[in-house]
Amino acid sequence: MKIIYSDQHYHQSPKLELAGGDLVPSFENPSRAEHVLERVKKIGLGEIITPDEFGLRPLLAVHDSGYIRFLQTAWQEWTDAGFKGEIIPLCWPAGQASDVLPRHIKGKVGYYAQGTDSNITDGTWIAALAAAQSALTGAALVCDAVKNGHKTGAFSLGRPPGHHAAKASYGGYSFLNNAAITAQYCRDQGIEKVAVLDVDFHHGNGTQDIFYDRDDVFFASIHGDPMDNFPYFWGHASECGTGQGERFNLNLPLGNGTQFQVWREALKNCLSAIDNFGAEVLIVSLGVDTFEEDPISAFKLKTPDYLVMGADIADLGIPTLFVMEGGYNVEALGVNMINVLVVHHF
């Protein structure tokens, strides 16, 4: 297995985030990737390579161009306006609000933000772009393998995560949707059917947003019930796609306290649906915040369960790209994430 890694992720190192009314150290920080990389090296999972450059075109294939410009320029606009702290939105459009993009940077931030959880810093764009390039490098490897009749896989060890980033909004620590970018890249390389499986505790609302009306990319997500969990406004079982995309979006929300036996049945349902779809490539949004000791999640999976999870996914038997998403118990993160990957003998 090829592991794609860039140390550019260190540029996204927010100081604090709002949680429960308090300012606390950010749960999404560089130590997450450090622990995973350390585990990769310790067990010799595979060859670690640096990402290639793919430019902005693959990003613009799924994200709004105005949104991309915002991410590129937000920090400069923020500091030009005289602000010294990290960028945290102050207000959002709601109800009968105008859909006109404000001129002032404070308004732009609120226009594109989903919440207050994702600070933009001076290095956010650098890190997010590097994570996207890492994921695209993995997608290129998988696409080449498909064309040559091989069953290969890759792991994009990048951060910040991406599955909450929608066509034109950021949130949940996500700025560029790496899973969606790579799924579209595979389509553009001639792969007719691509599936995205999201196993993160939190619903991949951004990925759903991007592919909700399409029948060429199947999206399946197992996640905490949005009645009780972030992102709250997306991820209900009734959300199954629209137009051509109807029945190509599968949400399996589960209650807080769910243990692996129940979670695994949901996984089997997703894998069966992906198999019936006829996916030629699988993109896995690999979050392990389903762990029983994760500080911001509510499932009860244990470390050995991730070995079974990985084996179940491997049994599908199609080329797979794993893209790093959540997991915020940093001490257990490396072991849990690599347990999913270690059975994939690519």
By annotation, the residues acting in catalysis are 164
Pick from 50, 317, 307: which is nearest to 157 by CA?
50
CB atoms under 10 Å from CB of 293, counted, come to 14
Pairing of strands 281-286, 153-157: unpaired
CB neighbours (10 Å) of residue 284? 25
- What gap in Å lies between CA 164 and CA 202, rounded to an integer? 9
Give the integer Cα–Cα distance in Å for 2 and 24.
Answer: 35
Alpha carbon distance 113, 119 (integer Å): 10
**For the CA atoms of 129, 135, 137, 139, what is the dihedral angle to 10 degrees?**
-140
Half-sphere exposure of 36 (CA within 13 A, CB side): 35
